[in-house]
Amino acid sequence: MKKHLPNLITLINLFCGINASILWLYNDQSLALTLIVIAAAADFLDGLVARLLNVSSEIGKQLDSLCDLVSFGVFPSIVIYQYLVMNHPISQGINIYAIPAFLIAMGAAYRLAKFNVDTRQTENFIGLNTPTMTIFVLGLYFIIEENTFGLSEVLKNDMSLYIVCILLPLLMNAEINLFGLKIKQFTVKGNELKLTMLLIAIALLISIGLQSLSFIVLIYILLSLIFHKDKSEINTNEA
């Protein structure tokens, strides 16, 4: 039984991702956000449980990526899709103006497939991982809805949304080295960059709230580009 427990947790991730996507389309954002948080928690716990029980497997790795594609690929696409649909409402048929939103899901699919065969990744990341990309998209949602810094109209116009649809797939698959955020040893030495990022994130969340999520991701990318050059160790868990 214990060998199936991590995969069961992974499937909870999938269940939540599917339902979050449906709920978002029905404009129940509050419950959808709750389910995505649960999906993210399951995505973190499945690998942890597999290591603790010593039941890690290749099928678990593949299943994790398949489930992540829904929760952290299709779901963020739906978020952007809804804004494009609001800009170009139609009564029936395929909304061609909103189709570019699914470039995000396609980019996530390619990243996850590439990740599964990339032997370079043990501690850090090459390219933006899918959960962090989803955090960025959710940050945009909160900025738009709260009109943070008066950016709502700017961010939800077609040009801005299409730029996001192109930029995110590129960032997910770019050969840029991003540091992992897991702290294995509770010491300052060797964790300076991670602790700096953590303090910045806490400060922004306290001062701005959830609208800061996109800014936190941008700062994370910037710090990685400036201070993190070593590609010898990259993360083995997409989450």
- The alpha carbon of 96 is separated from its chain's Cα centroid by a whole number of angstroms, namely 25
Output the pTM of the full model.
0.91
| 218-223 own/partner pairs: CB under 8 Å, 24+ apart | 218/136, 220/132, 220/178, 221/128, 221/171, 221/176, 221/178, 223/179, 223/193, 223/196, 223/197
3-state class (DSSP) for residue 177 = strand
Q: In the prediction, which pLDDT does 211 show?
A: 96
DSSP 75: H
Q: What is the pLDDT along the chain (239 residues), one digit of tens a residue?
A: 777 899 999 999 999 999 999 999 999 999 999 999 999 999 999 988 988 888 888 898 899 999 999 999 999 999 999 999 999 999 888 999 999 999 999 999 999 999 888 877 667 889 999 999 999 999 999 999 999 999 999 999 999 999 999 999 999 999 999 998 776 666 777 788 989 999 999 999 999 999 999 999 999 999 999 987 654 444 555 65
Q: In the prediction, which pLDDT does 123 show?
A: 74
Q: Find out whether 133 and 172 touch, Cβ atoms under 8 Å.
A: yes
Q: In the prediction, which pLDDT does 55 show?
A: 86
Q: d(Cα 42, Cα 136) in Å, to the nearest integer?
A: 19
Q: d(Cα 218, Cα 104) in Å, to the nearest integer?
A: 17
Spatial CB neighbours of 23, under 8 Å, sequence gap ≥ 6 = 29, 31, 32, 35
Q: In the prediction, which pLDDT does 235 show?
A: 53
* CA dist 17 → 10, 13, 102, 110, 147 (Å): 11, 6, 16, 18, 26
The region that residue 149 occupies, defined by phi over 0 for left and psi between -120 and 50 for alpha, beta otherwise, is: left
Spatial CB neighbours of 179, under 8 Å, sequence gap ≥ 6 = 124, 125, 193, 194, 197, 223, 224, 228
- Domains of the chain by range and CATH? 2-227 (1.20.120)
Residue 194: Cβ within 10 Å count: 16
φ/ψ of 177, rounded to 5, equals -90, 115
Residue 17: Cβ within 10 Å count: 28
User: 162: which 2 tokens?
Assistant: 């299409």
Q: d(Cα 49, Cα 51) in Å, to the nearest integer?
A: 5
Residue 231: Cβ within 10 Å count: 13
Q: In the prediction, which pLDDT does 37 show?
A: 97
